[in-house]
Chains A and B, each alone.
Chain A
């Protein structure tokens, strides 16, 4: 039976992916235009988790804003705390005690490792690497235990304060941290053995969602995703904040800018974070963990923009003060929001199966995207 050629032509269809979908990593929805299996167009639809944190901040005192920052990138609460309190400290010219600075580094880098662990675990899972879910989550549990031991909370930590940190570390913290760091290389080796060198994983990820450096910069991509394109740009080195200039570490880079490199770079960055933590443990001085700050935080009239290297890219806080006890305006520049804005550019032209890999590899967290 002869079939007319026009009967075989495909027609573009629109497919909703999300907001409830296991591989969108939160309440993110993509409206895909498909030609067969090929993704022709991607439209990001976000805002399902918009809580208006920037608006709420205008009605809270400076200290009361801290718990809201936990709920931005809830996988790396310490880093958000750090970015916010340093912003206020910059505007008020507060000097933080040495011990608090070191504790902040330890907590921030642990948070970064925890966030990267989620990324490698879930990306492996998204391409059906079930076993690989467990090693990172097993080890991440120990990071959360360390947080719980210190501040009573595992994710929404609110540990940093304007002028220092909420509490000193308890006895038993340092040995547990030491043991965790000793075991970390084994987890990384496990991941490398299970996933990084795995033929199926490579076939699914190599060359998928490639983006070159120039395009990445134009789209505002930062963090590990940018470093996977070959540029060793890390604010901890390029514009050190806190006491990052005292530590020795490398900035890993890879050159392909594809999903595979974005995965591998996270494993490499964990090693460097561990290096920083070991140095911070060795140099940890005694003394107080809070500076003497006024009871009511009232920064002078003015504005400040402070950016730190978050787990997912550059996290910026723009703060305008009118001299009162509440922020006049607080804007949060979240890396996931901007990185996600580049997803259509990354994913268009690929297959729908690759789309899942692309989302996982740019590592978004919706708490931060929607704020």
Chain B
């Protein structure tokens, strides 16, 4: 697996490897995400998008996109992360590579406010269309009256 990270680093010098977690992980610059994912899918057998989500690190002023890939059928796992600016979180959509990203990116947009460039139908999915705010942000108040206008 170390070989994989080194090989990717040769192609994409901006990538960092993360060790010691429950699975190998990469931190990828936002502008290289699409190219890295294509490479992982086409040349390294990570053919399945297992999960896609985001975490709000409010104190560090960043939103972290977290992708989990799976190599089917041997079930190897890989985590790919992208750090985004909390004020203007924007990242490329993966819908062109995996249609599975469609609904999951809409969910992240809805609940976390991340904009996915190139998404064919980026609108709210779980909250009503007239909802304001993004509930999974840490500064969203859990108050019955708040959030609705």
The CA of A302 and the CA of B79, in the complex, are separated in Å by 14
Instruction: Count residues of A near B (Cβ-Cβ below 8 Å).
Output: 43
Query: For residue A44, which residues in chain B have a CB less than 8 angstroms away from its CB?
Result: 103
**Binary CB contact string for chain A from 193 to 218 against chain B (1 if under 8 A, 0 otherwise):** 00000000000000000000000011
- 0 or 1 for each of A215-259: is its CB under 8 Å from B? (1 = yes): 001111000000000011101001100000000000000000000
Q: Mark B56-75, 1 if CB is under 8 A from A, else 0.
A: 10000000001010001111
Report yes or no: B103 in contact with A338, Cβ–Cβ below 8 A: yes
Q: Are A239 and B142 in contact (CB under 8 A)?
A: no
Please tell me if A316 contacts chain B, counting CB pairs below 8 Å: yes
User: Quick check: A329 and B55 within 8 Å, CB to CB?
Assistant: yes
Cβ contact within 8 Å between B79 and A59: no
Least Cβ–Cβ distance between A226 and chain B, in angstroms: 9
- For residue B99, which residues in chain A have a CB less than 8 angstroms away from its CB? 218-220, 341-342, 345
Q: Is the CB of A302 within 8 A of B21?
A: yes
B51 at the interface (CB under 8 A from A): yes
With both chains docked as a complex, state the minimum distance between the C-beta of A208 and any C-beta of chain B, in angstroms: 21
Total A-B pairs, Cβ < 8 A: 102
Q: A220-B100, A318-B53 are in contact. Are A232 and B73 (CB under 8 A)?
A: yes
Q: Is residue A262 contacting chain B, with contact meaning CB distance below 8 A? A: no
Does chain A have a CB within 8 A of B32? no
Question: Are B98 and A47 neighbours in the complex by a CB distance under 8 Å?
Answer: no
Minimum CB–CB distance for A257 against chain B, Å: 15
Which residues from B are CB-within-8-Å of A292?
A: none
Which single residue of chain A is at the shortest CB-CB distance from B98? A218
CB-CB contacts of B89-124 with A at 8 A, as 1s and 0s?
A: 000000000111011100100010000000000001
CA distance A50 to B129 in the complex (A): 13
Check if B145 is an interface residue, CB within 8 A of chain A: no
B136 contacts A305, CB within 8 Å? no
- Residues of A76-124 contacting chain B, CB below 8 A: 90-91
Q: How many residues of B contact A (CB 8 A)?
A: 36
B-chain residues with CB within 8 Å of residue A278 when the two chains form the complex: none
Quick one: given A47-B125, A52-B135, are A341 and B100 in contact (CB under 8 Å)? yes
For A140, the chain B residues whose CB sits under 8 A away are none
User: Which chain A residues lie closer than 8 Å to B48 at the CB level?
Assistant: 217, 220
Q: Does B3 contact A (CB under 8 A)?
A: no
A171, B62: Cα distance in complex, Å: 54
**Contacts A305-B51, A338-B104, A345-B99 hold; do A217 and B72 have CB atoms under 8 A apart?**
yes
**Are B75 and A305 in contact, with the CB atoms below 8 A?**
no
Q: Tell me how far the C-beta of B120 lies from the nearest C-beta in chain A, rounded to whole angstroms.
A: 12
> A238–B53 contact, CB under 8 A?
no
Bound-state Cα–Cα, A90 to B23, Å? 12
The answer to whether A90 and B22 have CB atoms under 8 Å apart is yes
Closest chain B residue to A303 by CB distance? B21
Contacts of A218 in B (CB 8 A): 98-100
Residue of A nearest to B56 (CB): A329
* Residues of chain B lying within 8 A (CB to CB) of residue A305: 22-23, 51, 68, 77, 79
Q: Is B4 an interface residue (CB 8 A)?
A: no
Q: Is A54 an interface residue (CB 8 A)?
A: yes
24 contacts between A and B (CB under 8 A): A46-B126, A47-B124, A47-B126, A54-B111, A55-B140, A56-B142, A217-B47, A218-B100, A220-B99, A235-B75, A303-B22, A307-B51, A314-B50, A318-B51, A318-B53, A318-B68, A329-B55, A333-B68, A337-B103, A337-B107, A338-B104, A342-B100, A345-B99, A371-B126
Residues on B facing A (Cβ under 8 Å): 21-23, 47-51, 53, 55-56, 66, 68, 72-75, 77, 79, 98-100, 102-104, 107, 111, 124-128, 135-136, 140, 142
